[in-house]
Structure 1
């Protein structure tokens, strides 16, 4: 029995090592390497909480889909920016903070079980620094990023968020260990034309190029 447990533990360690190695390789192999820095355009932000990344974009392009009446406190609907994060529905709805972390929900999410949601928070313009990076996009780059985020919204009921300023929306796509919240962020930035790794399942892979 002990031998079986040791083999299982060894196999798990090997899987983790291979995953981290692949994540490092995917993050390090960047596309859109020829992009020139933009000085005038639309300022966006990317935020990292250590496990998850959000795209923070001007609210004007999304007020028709993420409306004030969806919020517990509609007054927050006047905020100038919205933070967008994508993820597994069951995990996201029940994990407002680290103390809510549940191993079973995490395992199911990584295994690809369940549907997805887009979490939208109405916020003031953030201050760049530390875990928040600012990026200026050209109008065309921003148009592509808006198209990507809007394309993530799916038909379905709106669920109130963790507080007065946020809500959850049914989303397209399936979450898994391969297609994570950070992979979603990185994919959007790549589609916009930003220099970004070809696969960014972990937050540092996204922030590496910003």
Structure 2
């Protein structure tokens, strides 16, 4: 009996390891296959992609002739209540993961596993910024007005709205005095991660992207 149990768990572990191997092989293949390689050469709006080593954010100008984010996301949601910012960043992820891991050094295995394998609520992390912080890997990208409009539309559609059409802040959750969290659509899983969300936004805006990637390295590989 004991040997049957051991064989059962051994087979289960082997199957899990095989699935993980296939997952990582698929991620590598999907990351190196590019989409939307032909890009306009007259991009007039500069945006940025920033990674903390695992998670990718979009960084947009706070206001230009295409989109005024001040009218869509009020600085009243941040602790400083300031309004004189030049940029705004957006990240998407699992709400409980955001709540329990303000720094990646705080990542706990149960929290990570729950975020990946259970359909839990998601959130948008929004930070108002005076300038571009270059202490983390950051890529500038020049895009057209039409691409920026589509990318902004994609990001704004990711916010969960109340019946009146307003975005819904997550109460009492901040990493610093200039950021805020908002309830978001969809749930994170093994195949749709925070980086998949960014990559899908790039594809939606007809920008260079991976075929599919769950990791930040795939996105940055396409913009080397």
**TM-score using structure 2 length:** 0.86
Question: Could you list the runs of 5+ residues in structure 1 that have no partner in the other structure?
Answer: none
Root mean square deviation, CA, Å: 1.8
Query: Matches of 1:59 and 1:133 in 2, distance apart?
Result: 17
1:68-120 deviation per Cα after TM superposition (whole angstroms, max 9, x unaligned): 11011112x42211110001111112210123212111111101421110000
**Residue 23 (structure 1) aligned with residue 27 (structure 2):** yes
Tell which structure's C-alpha radius of gyration is larger: 2
Who is 1:65 aligned against? 72
Query: Matches of 1:24 and 1:192 in 2, distance apart?
Result: 23
Query: Matches of 1:134 and 1:5 in 2, distance apart?
Result: 48
The residue matched to 1:208 in structure 2 has which SS? helix
Cα distance 1:125–1:193, how it changes in 2: closer, same or farther (>3 A)? farther
Moved more, 180-189 or 6-15: 6-15
Query: Matches of 2:71 and 2:186 in 1, distance apart?
Result: 22
Which consecutive segments of 4 or more residues in structure 1 shift more than 4 A? 1-5, 127-130
Question: Could you list the runs of 5+ residues in structure 2 that have no partner in the other structure?
Answer: 162-167
Query: Matches of 1:169 and 1:32 in 2, distance apart?
Result: 30
> Alpha-carbon deviation of 1:8?
3.6
The residue matched to 2:90 in structure 1 has which SS? strand
Q: How many residues align?
A: 208
1:1-23 deviation per Cα after TM superposition (whole angstroms, max 9, x unaligned): 55444434333322221111111
Query: Matches of 1:195 and 1:128 in 2, distance apart?
Result: 22
Confirm or deny: 8 A CA contact 1:43 1:134 kept in the other structure. Answer: yes
Who is 2:222 aligned against? 209
Query: Matches of 1:124 and 1:189 in 2, distance apart?
Result: 24
1:177-207 deviation per Cα after TM superposition (whole angstroms, max 9, x unaligned): 1110000000111111111112121111111
The residue matched to 1:78 in structure 2 has which SS? coil
Who is 2:178 aligned against? 165
> Alpha-carbon deviation of 1:130?
6.5
**Residue 106 (structure 1) aligned with residue 112 (structure 2):** yes
**Residue 191 (structure 1) aligned with residue 171 (structure 2):** no
